[in-house]
Amino acid sequence: MSECSVLIGGKAGDGINLAGQTIARIFTRLGYYAYMYYDYPSLIRGGHNFSVIRACSHPVGTHRSGIDILLAMDTTTLRLHQNDCRRDALIIYNSDSVQSDAGSGIPLKRIVGKNEGSAVMENTAMIGALASAIGMEWEDIASVISHEMHKFTEKNLGIAQDAFRMQTEKKELKRLAQSPGILLSGNEAACLGLLSAGLNGYIAYPMSPSTGILHFMAGASGETGLQVFQPESEIAVITMAEGMAYAGAKTAVGTSGGGFCLMTEALSMAGMAEIPITIVLAQRGGPSTGTPTYTAQSDLHFAIHAGQGEFPRFVFAPGDAQQAIEWAGHALSLSWQFQVPSILMTDKTLSEGIYTVAPELLPAQVPVSLPLWEGADEYLRYRDTKDGISPYASPPLSGSVIKGNSKSHDERGISADDGMQIAAMTRKQMKKIPLMKEAVSCLNPVHISGNTDADQCLISWGSNAPLCREAAGIVGIKSVQPIVIHPFPEAEMLAATRNSRMTFLPEDNYSGQLADICEAHGIPVDIRLPRFDGRPFTLDQLTEDLWGLAE
């Protein structure tokens, strides 16, 4: 095999997520690019969890339907996923709890008991069996387990080795080369991007699928000096963050749809007070609580229009871990450069997906360009400049008062009800928008790939981008991904789609929110491909749809 898809499934509490990440590590050790999708219900125990890990010789950011190796920790996994297996698939199952005439049975519970391990270590035995099946040397898999499992390492090694020796049926995966990169989740990638741009503080209330950012930032706080706080609510999160930003600290927050709802009044305050703040909005299914552990792309219009009144903002939607690093950095930098809010949109698929990222593609420090007050005259927090960007200063400032006002105000920040002053300050803010468009235009806001000469075009945004890049390459059409959603890169999108006689746009929402935005800017979308069941498209499904529609 030169490509391989593995599905491991079991109950919540069986360690399916960690097992999947370990399998992805195995694939990178063999020289493959890896991608992992993790599916789980909103349950602490029970239910059905599974991870799909795909290994390819080229960069990959999506999974496909056909499974090459099925690792069944329980009967439910075998029942639900056996029909997803390819004809020549290898099935390895827990013979202590699963009865099957197909595949290889490994007594996971007995192996763990022999080594005096805990029940969760049954997934270690399954990993050992997988490593043997794909033809790994024991020394290689032992190195991966030692790297991934810092607690009870020797027990885990003993368990894995017993299963490694028992597994006799093979489906060997040839070694390609050295590891092509490091494994990062989308959440971890966003963290690295924010940190690269000089983040000083991160504040969040746990809300899936953004919670991984809070965990990563808390873990990195000692090494980086980052200030990390978990207040009592999302309202406290955003207001505390704006207080830190007013004081001069580059601050970001993370949340999902319900939390973002609670933040919208303070988002408006940031707009009026011209406080730079970066919000990571990790989408999940709605409305209301919706599906907390499943994916969606249904908050796009909300992000662009959230908050009362009108004020400039940035909205970015990276598609994979590499783009998440780059555009999280841009989000923080541009927010401070223009003193406006910025929103980085991810979703469950991107946030919790695992990607291989080549180290040389990790961006360097993203510079922050701020017009600073030089102290020559009276400080005016909201001074009306040619470009609408006021000189920046943070307290304490000797001999000056720095006003931050959420009410209509004059240049000094003093509340104002005079119509001329209100209009003047509104015009001042809106003068930023053309410059914001110019700034993002220099950052390649639209990614084009596939057959650039084709007269058929596949538009995507967010986590569907790597899926659509690969599908477009298979079908032989053009792939277009706007990473900047607001202010919309109209000129770049018109140029990218000008010669297309047919345009497709898949989205994880019912109405086609990006399609609406494209058509509002004169970019016709001929065929909308909505999906709204909380699950991402697979490569097979989208490719089959495109072949049928393109004929």
Q: Is the peptide bond before 395 cis (omega within 30 degrees of 0)?
A: no
Q: State the CB neighbour count (10 A cutoff) for residue 308.
A: 11
- Compute the average pLDDT of residues 156-173: 94
Query: Can you tell me the mean pLDDT for 81-109?
Result: 93
432-441 and 321-338 helices, crossing angle to 10°? 150
pLDDT given for residue 320 in this prediction: 97
Mind listing the pLDDT tens digit for each residue in 431-484?
A: 999 999 999 999 999 999 999 999 999 999 999 999 999 999 999 999 999 999
Q: What is the pLDDT of residues 528-542, one digit of tens each?
A: 999 999 999 999 999
Q: What is the mean pLDDT of residues 261-289?
A: 97
59-81 pLDDT, tens digit per residue, is 999 999 999 999 999 999 999 99
Mean pLDDT of 284-300: 96
Mean pLDDT of 100-123: 92
Residue with structure tokens 């219009």?
Answer: 301
Does residue 376 register a pLDDT over 80?
no
pLDDT band at 369 (very low <50, low <70, confident <90, very high): low
Tokens coding 153 = 């390492």
The DSSP 8-state label assigned to residue 274 in this structure reads: T
- In contact, 37 and 63? CB cutoff 8 Å: yes
Residue 361 — very low, low, confident or very high, per pLDDT cuts 50/70/90?
low
Displacement of CA 127 from its chain's centroid (Å):
26
Name the class of domain 4-166. Answer: alpha beta
CA gap 300, 306 in Å, rounded: 10
Which pLDDT score, from 0 to 100, does residue 233 have? Answer: 96
- Token pair of 182, please? 């490091």
pLDDT over 70 at 197, yes or no: yes
Question: Could you tell me the two tokens for 250?
Answer: 């580059």
pLDDT tens-place string over residues 420-440: 999 999 999 999 999 999 999
Proportion of the chain above pLDDT 70, given as a percent: 97
pLDDT of 360 over the 80 cut: no
CA angle 271, 321, 283 (to 5 degrees): 50
Q: How confident is the model at residue 408 (pLDDT cuts 50, 70, 90)?
A: very high
pLDDT of residue 122: 95
Rounded to an integer, the average pLDDT of 40-48 is 88
Q: Would you place residue 2 in the very low, low, confident or very high pLDDT band (cuts 50, 70, 90)?
A: confident
Give 377's pLDDT tier (boundaries 50, 70, 90): confident
Q: What is the pLDDT of residue 223?
A: 93
pLDDT of amino acid 203? 98
Asked whether the predicted pLDDT for residue 167 surpasses 70, the reply is yes
Q: How far apart are CA 134 and CA 149, in angstroms?
A: 21
Model confidence at 215: pLDDT above 80: yes
Q: DSSP for 344-382?
A: EEEEHHHHH-EEEE-GGGS--PPP----B--SSS---TT
Ordered by start, the domain boundaries in the chain are: 4-166, 184-361, 444-550
Q: How far apart are CA 314 and CA 437, in angstroms?
A: 10
- pLDDT tier at 204, thresholds 50, 70, 90: very high
Collapsing DSSP to helix, strand or coil, 445 comes out as: coil
Reported as a pLDDT band with limits 50, 70 and 90, residue 371 is low
| Average pLDDT across the chain, whole number | 94
pLDDT band, residue 327 (cuts 50/70/90): very high
What's the alpha-carbon Rg for the chain, to the nearest Å? Answer: 25
Distance CA 23, CA 127 (A): 7
**Number of H-type helices and E-type strands within the chain:** 19, 20
pLDDT value, residue 126: 97
Mind listing the pLDDT tens digit for each residue in 117-136? Answer: 999 999 999 999 999 999 99
Domain 444-550 has CATH 3.40.50.920: yes
Give me the percent of the chain exceeding a pLDDT of 90. 87
Point out the least confidently predicted range of 148-162, 215-229, 295-309, 319-333.
148-162
Answer whether residue 364 shows pLDDT above 70.
no
For 4, residues 6+ apart whose C-beta sits below 8 A from its C-beta are: 27, 32, 54, 55, 68, 69, 134, 173
Model confidence at 103: pLDDT above 70: yes
pLDDT of 154 > 70? The answer is yes
- Angstrom CA distances, 86 to 71, 191, 533, stand at 14, 37, 24
Q: Are 204 and 251 in contact (CB under 8 A)?
A: no
User: Quick one: average pLDDT of 339-360?
Assistant: 95
Confidence of residue 366 (pLDDT cuts 50, 70, 90): low
Write down the CATH superfamily of domain 184-361: Thiamin diphosphate (ThDP)-binding fold, Pyr/PP domains (3.40.50.970)
Tokens of 201: 């503080």
Give every strand in the sheet of 4-12, ordered side by side.
104-106, 85-94, 67-72, 4-12, 46-56, 33-39, 354-357, 182-185
User: Same topology for domains 184-361 and 444-550, yes or no?
Assistant: yes
pTM value?
0.96
The 8-class DSSP code of residue 391 comes to P
437 to each of 71, 391, 448, 475, 484, how far by Cα in Å? 49, 20, 19, 33, 10
